[in-house]
Each structure stands twice: as C-alpha cells, then as structure tokens.
Amino acid sequence: MDWCLFATRLETAETMEGTALNMRTVLLPDSDSKFRRRSCVAKESGNSKEYKTGGGSSLYILIICTLLYMVNYMDRQVLAAVVEPMKAALNLDDSHIGILGTVFLLSIALFSFPVAYLVDRWSRRKAIGIMAIIWSVFTFLTGKAWSFTTLLIPRALVGAGEAGYSAGGTAMVGAAYDSKKRGAVMGIFNMAIPLGVALGSVLGGVLAKAHGWQAPFFAFAIPGIILGIMAFFMKDYKTVEYTHESGAKVTFFQSIKKLFTIPSLVWVLVGYGLANIMSMSFLFWTPAFIQRAWGVDVAAANAVMVPIVLAAIVGSPVGGILADIWFKKNPRGRLYLPAITVMLSAACMAGAIYFQMKGIGMALIVAYGVLNVMALPCLSAISQDVAPVAQKGLVWGLMVFCMYAFGGGWSPYMVGAISKVLGEGAQGLGTALTIATIGGILGGLCYLMAAKPYVADMEKVKDDQLMAE
C-alpha cells in the first residue's frame, strides 16, 4: 500500500475543490514495523505552491538574517570588551565576570528549546523580529546597571532574547537555498559571527574608552531594533504540522526525543558542546588576557582582536565552500572538515597562549580564528541535512542548548574560577585558557564519529519538501 498517498488522502478527504492544500508530516509504519516519518505533500491546488529557493526574496532573507546574527554577536562580545573598566567601576573580580558570562550563556541554553519549538510551530520571521527587539532592549538596559545584580538580570534577559535567533535564522537561510549550495550560503551567514565579534570588540573598546563602559551597550541596541522590524518582511515557508499516524500532534518532548534518534546528530550535538568549551572561553577571556599579558588599555587590547576575527571572516565562507566540494565527492567530507579544523585550532590556541599572542603567538591565534570558524557552516548545513522539515528550527535550538549545556555555557566561569585560584594574572588566566583547548580536541573526535551514520540519516529525509507560506 502507498502509505504516503494514504496519509495525503486522510488529510484532504474533506477539502473543498480549489482550496489550498496543507502539508503534514506524518509518522508512518515501515516494512520492519518501526515508525518512520515522511513528508506527504498534496499536489498544488488553488493558491498552494512549493516554496521557491533562490532569487531576490532569498537574498533579502540572507542579508537580514546575517546582519542580525552580526548584531547578535556584537551584543554578546561587548561585555568581554569592557571587562576591565567595568570591574573597576562596579568593584567586581574574575569570578563575578565568569558568573556573568555563564549565566548569559545558560539563559540562552535554557530558552533555546522552547523558543526553537515556537519557531517551528508558529512563524520564523515573526519570531526573529520579536527576539531581535527584545534582546536589543535588554542590551540597552544592561548599560544602566550600577551593581552586580543589576548587571546580571538584564544580561540574563539578553540571553533569553537571543536564545532562539540562531535556530530561526538557520532554518530560514537553510530553507531559502538548495541543499547543494547550503554549505556556501551557511558560510556567508556564519561570517556574521567573527564580524560581530570584531565590531563588538573594537567599537566596544573605543566607545568604552571615550564615553565609559556603558556607552557600547546603548549604541549596539539601535541596529538590533531596526533590523528586527525589517525581519517581519521576510518570505517564510509554511509551518508544517507534525503528527502521528492517528492524527495526534507530536508534542514538544516527543519532537526532541525523535531528534535524539538520529545517530549522526547525537555525535554532532556532543561534539559541538565540547568544542565550545574552547570557543566560548576564547571569546570571553581573550581581551582580558591581552590586557594583562601586554599591559595595554581596553581599547588597545580589543584592537588586537581585529586581525584574529578578520581572518575568521575568511574562514567561514572558505569552510562552507570546501565542505560543499568535499560533499560532492564524499558526503562524509562535510563532517571530516570540521573534525580536522577544530582539532587543529585547539593546537593553535594552546601555542598562541604559550607565546602570549606575540610574534609567532599572534600568527597562531590568527590561524586559530580561521580554522575554528571553518567548522560552523559545515555544522549548520549538517543539522539541516538530517532534520525533518517540521523540526528544522528545533534542531538548531537543540544544537544551541547542547552547545552551552555540554560545555560552552559554563566554560567562562570555569576559566574565571581557575584564573582566580592561580592569582588572576596573565599566567593564571593563560593556564586556564590552555586547559579549555582540550574541549576542541574532544569535539573534533565526536565529529569523526558522526561521519559514519551521516549518509544514512540524510536518506531518511531526502523526500521532504517545503511549501510557500
């Protein structure tokens, strides 16, 4: 029996002729009596039409989502950019700073699941617009803080506002372009991360030196609000109803459970969390390390970040393009590439810290920036390659959750705590950062393990289609 045809008939039996037909994702029994899932799409009727990829509307999505991702990381990086003057003004120590970073990241992890689920079940463009406005408002309020508590609360709420953005943005950009181009497009999208870090570091340092540590928080809130409004005009794809064969909707926890049945995804989730022990520690603590090791002020320390992150901007599209080329020859190449680059980046970061990022140390940390970011477009593409249509937002929400819960979220506190025990100087902080590079090695090994089941996992969702909103 043609189960897909059967499911489609169930969906359309009572539909009037000429009425647009909807798409449902149905859990169906396969030949070995286990449940599998297929997307069953009724033929175009009335005003129902397939979601078209490419063209001007896709370019608009790519531009708005990339710019918002850049602002997202500007707002993340700004706290690291003003650590030293903020510590002095509010009488804080390294453990306080570590707590701020960890609470911010864990708030992203905590809210990433429910917000990503909302993205899949409601509207990606509306969710993206609302989230951008919320995180921008609380970025502004962070600059009004006068104590540790009044700094901690709005900073945590910035994290809550940013929680689902990468899920919504990844789903929108991934759907807007053909799968064969997905790695390259995700490379452009993920360029926003190093670019946002660069602007957050440089502009944050300059504004803090000229106008006080609060100034960059006020300034960075403005573009987020503007772009959030513009996001409401993006072209979205139709929300897919995800149901059991009986017609009952698949619940939030059932959706998450289904994602954990994808073997390659599970390895990627664990690896992403471990690798971000290194990445989050680098982003959060490097400006402070440079200030202590070099004896320079906040603006000069953040200026040193520029060549590092500019090199990383190149790494993102290059990683995406190389992954696409390798993918065409061997699909598992999309996982081999991040495995290699993340482990190499760990070695580069450890060497750079040993040389205090001077001379050969600067060359190594620039190499770290390129190699580490090369993995991002690969992982973004992989998450969309193996996820069902109805869970394309949720799968990246799960990635974000695991990114912070499995390591990235608590690594700023870990590094700060170790640094405090070791005296809070350049040597103590450098030792703590070197320990964090172990996460990169472990993450790369997990990506290698994910490569084996990856092709089979892609085959399970290859017939999925998207319909226009």
DSSP letter string over 8-74?
Answer: HHHHHTTPPTTSPPPEEEEEEE-TTS-EEEEEEEPPP-TT--BPPPSSHHHHHHHHHHHHHHHHHHH
Nearest-angstrom CA–CA distance, 455 and 450:
10
Residues 6+ apart with CB under 8 A from 329: none
pLDDT class for 248, splitting at 50, 70, 90? low
Beta carbons of 406 and 414 less than 8 angstroms apart:
no
pLDDT attached to residue 199: 87
Please give the pLDDT value at position 464: 58
The amino acid that residue 320 corresponds to is: G
Give kind and range of the element (H or E) at residue 182.
helix 182-190
CB-CB contact of 171 with 393 (8 Å): yes
pLDDT band of 18, cuts 50, 70, 90: very low
Indicate if the pLDDT at residue 259 is higher than 50: yes
**Mean pLDDT, range 326-337, rounded to an integer:** 91
pLDDT above 70 coverage of the chain, percent: 82
CA distances 119 to 98, 127, 158, 311, 395, Å, are 30, 6, 18, 32, 11
The reported pLDDT for the residue numbered 315 is: 83
CATH 3.40.50.261 fits 56-459, yes or no: no
| Residue intervals in the chain for CATH 1.20.1250.20 | 56-459
Rg (CA), the chain: 22
Give the per-residue pLDDT at 28.
41
In the predicted structure, residue 389 carries a pLDDT above the cut 50: yes
Query: 10-24, 210-224, 300-314 — which is least confidently predicted?
Result: 10-24
Is 214 or 52 the better-scoring residue by pLDDT? 214
pLDDT at 100: 86
Place of tokens 């394309």: 392
pLDDT at 19 over 50: no
Stretch 419-427: mean pLDDT, rounded? Answer: 87
Q: Give the pLDDT confidence score for residue 469 in this predicted structure.
A: 52
| pLDDT for residue 24 | 43
Highest averaged pLDDT of the listed ranges 8-12, 261-265, 396-400, 441-445? 441-445
| Phi/psi at 245 (5° precision) | -60, -30
pTM of the model: 0.68
Of these ranges, 122-131, 135-144, 229-238, the one predicted with the greatest mean pLDDT is: 135-144
Q: Which residue has the tokens 């172990």?
A: 438
Calculate mean pLDDT across residues 403-421. 85
Q: What is the pLDDT of residue 13?
A: 36
Residue 36 pLDDT greater than 50, yes or no: no
| Full strand arrangement of the beta sheet holding 35-41 | 35-41, 23-29, 241-243
Percent of the chain whose predicted confidence (pLDDT) is above 90: 27
pLDDT of residue 275: 95
CA separation (Å) from 99 to 227, 406, 415, 427, 429?
Answer: 30, 17, 10, 21, 15
pLDDT at 6: 30
